[in-house]
């Protein structure tokens, strides 16, 4: 290895090590454009139906469509599997080997966040809310191994490799409950995949330095294929389109369906469950409504100023987490714990129905989302400085 006097790199890495970092960047780019992480995709969630006795009557687990999850698993697996060039720990160790000591605290912190996501049992706590559920206390990494190796990519362990069998998958699913089990492994994949991207800022800096230092290193990163038409220099083009999946909404009902999949309109989506499930009726009513009472009146409903269900205790609801909005309905009357938020969400939705022209999914760099709220600065000079 050669010395690098004018760089923050301690030495020049081998081509194999460079290829690992390139593969990691390529894989994170691929993961970032999968439907699972697009702005309009709702992450795994839980919904509760509360009875008059303030107890949870039923639980609804909401997960992305299976095709959405499977599309993300191809790049996810390249970061997850230890045998892959782009494996998270392999790439992190390369950075620790060639970056200065000042970077090690940053790298250790990122590693802790990724390992924390892998070892987390938060999905278990969430799935157990409001019930006497006492299923197997599996870590996220166990659930991911079960999903990938017994269901998505393989059919379970064999005599030489693997931790779990197809029978293990069926047993855990039965013990936990099929709905809970799918929610738990989907949520695990979602969060671990997000944290798997947290080395991207370091990877971009690393490759930026190599471009300056080496004229022989192979650093080619392939462009990410996205839906639509792409033209090439050889006078050919390719159209990437799948009916039903690549659809750009045109009718008001299609636009409404598209908007309600975005995180920002989840409050409205939950509220509409008490009004109507027919988007052909809902869309024009939303456009015509100036406020929430107008919308309710269109469907023969009105708001209730106090909780509807009778309870034996003074508590009107189960304790709500911050930001959670509760709903109740007796058919014609609807009560909500925060009508102001509902109305703001409704008016924003109306504006989007009337004015939005670009219906391409809005994407953002996953690694920035993964690092959100950490408050830890990147330890090196910005890429824009030379």
> pLDDT tens-digit profile of 329-376?
877 888 887 888 888 999 999 999 998 877 765 556 788 778 776 667
- DSSP characters for 61-128? EE---HHHHHHHHHHHHHHH-TTSTT-HHHHHHHHHHHS-GGGHHHHHHHHHHHHHHHH--HHHHHHT
CA-based radius of gyration for the chain:
25
**pLDDT, tens digit, 9 for 90 and up, residues 233-243:** 888 988 777 76
Distance (Å, rounded) from C-alpha 192 to C-alpha 115?
A: 9
Cβ–Cβ contacts within 10 Å for residue 381, how many?
A: 10
Question: Tokens in use for 3?
Answer: 């010395």
Closest CA to 62 of 178, 192, 182: 182
What percentage of residues in the chain have a pLDDT greater than 90? 31
Residue 135 pLDDT greater than 90, yes or no: no
User: In the prediction, which pLDDT does 3 show?
Assistant: 47
User: In the prediction, which pLDDT does 72 show?
Assistant: 93
Question: Tokens in use for 85?
Answer: 């060039």
Residue 274 pLDDT greater than 80, yes or no: yes
Phi, psi dihedral angles at 333 (to 5 degrees): -105, 140
Contacts of 119 (CB under 8 A, 6+ apart): 139, 140, 141
- Domain range list for the chain: 15-219+364-371, 252-355
**pLDDT, tens digit, 9 for 90 and up, residues 58-72:** 778 888 888 889 999
């Amino acid at each position: 290895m050669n010395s690098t006097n004018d760089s923050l790199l301690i030495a020049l890495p081998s081509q194999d090590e460079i290829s690992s970092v390139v593969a990691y960047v390529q894989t994170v780019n691929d993961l970032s454009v999968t439907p699972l992480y697009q702005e309009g995709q709702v992450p795994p969630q839980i919904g509760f139906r509360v009875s008059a006795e303030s107890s949870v009557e039923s639980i609804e687990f909401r997960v992305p469509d299976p095709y959405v999850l499977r599309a993300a698993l191809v790049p996810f697996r390249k970061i997850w599997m230890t045998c892959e060039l782009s494996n998270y720990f392999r790439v992190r160790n390369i950075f620790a080997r060639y970056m200065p000591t000042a970077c090690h605290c940053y790298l250790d912190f990122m590693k802790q966040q990724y390992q924390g996501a892998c070892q987390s049992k938060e999905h278990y706590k969430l799935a157990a809310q409001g019930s006497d559920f006492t299923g197997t206390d599996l870590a996220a990494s166990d659930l991911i191994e079960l999903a990938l190796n017994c269901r998505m990519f393989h059919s379970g362990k064999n005599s030489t490799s693997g931790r779990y069998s197809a029978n293990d998958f069926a047993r855990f699913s039965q013990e936990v409950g099929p709905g809970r089990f799918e929610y738990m492994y989907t949520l695990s994949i979602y969060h671990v995949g997000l944290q798997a991207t947290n080395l991207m800022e370091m990877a971009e800096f690393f490759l930026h330095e190599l471009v300056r230092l080496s004229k022989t290193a192979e650093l080619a990163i392939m462009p990410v294929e996205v839906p639509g038409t792409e033209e090439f220099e050889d006078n050919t083009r390719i159209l990437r389109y799948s009916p039903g999946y690549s659809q750009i909404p045109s009718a008001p009902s299609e636009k409404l369906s598209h908007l309600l999949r975005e995180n920002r309109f989840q409050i409205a989506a939950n509220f509409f469950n008490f009004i109507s499930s027919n988007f052909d009726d809902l869309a024009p009513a939303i456009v015509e409504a100036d406020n929430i009472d107008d919308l309710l009146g269109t469907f023969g409903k009105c708001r209730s100023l106090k909780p509807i269900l009778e309870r034996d205790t003074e508590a009107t609801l189960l304790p709500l987490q911050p930001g959670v909005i509760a709903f109740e309905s007796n058919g014609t009357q609807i009560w909500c714990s925060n009508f102001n938020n509902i109305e703001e969400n409704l008016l924003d939705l109306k504006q989007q129905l009337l004015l939005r022209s670009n219906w391409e999914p809005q994407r953002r760099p996953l690694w920035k989302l993964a690092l959100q709220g950490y408050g830890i600065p990147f330890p090196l000079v910005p890429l824009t400085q030379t």
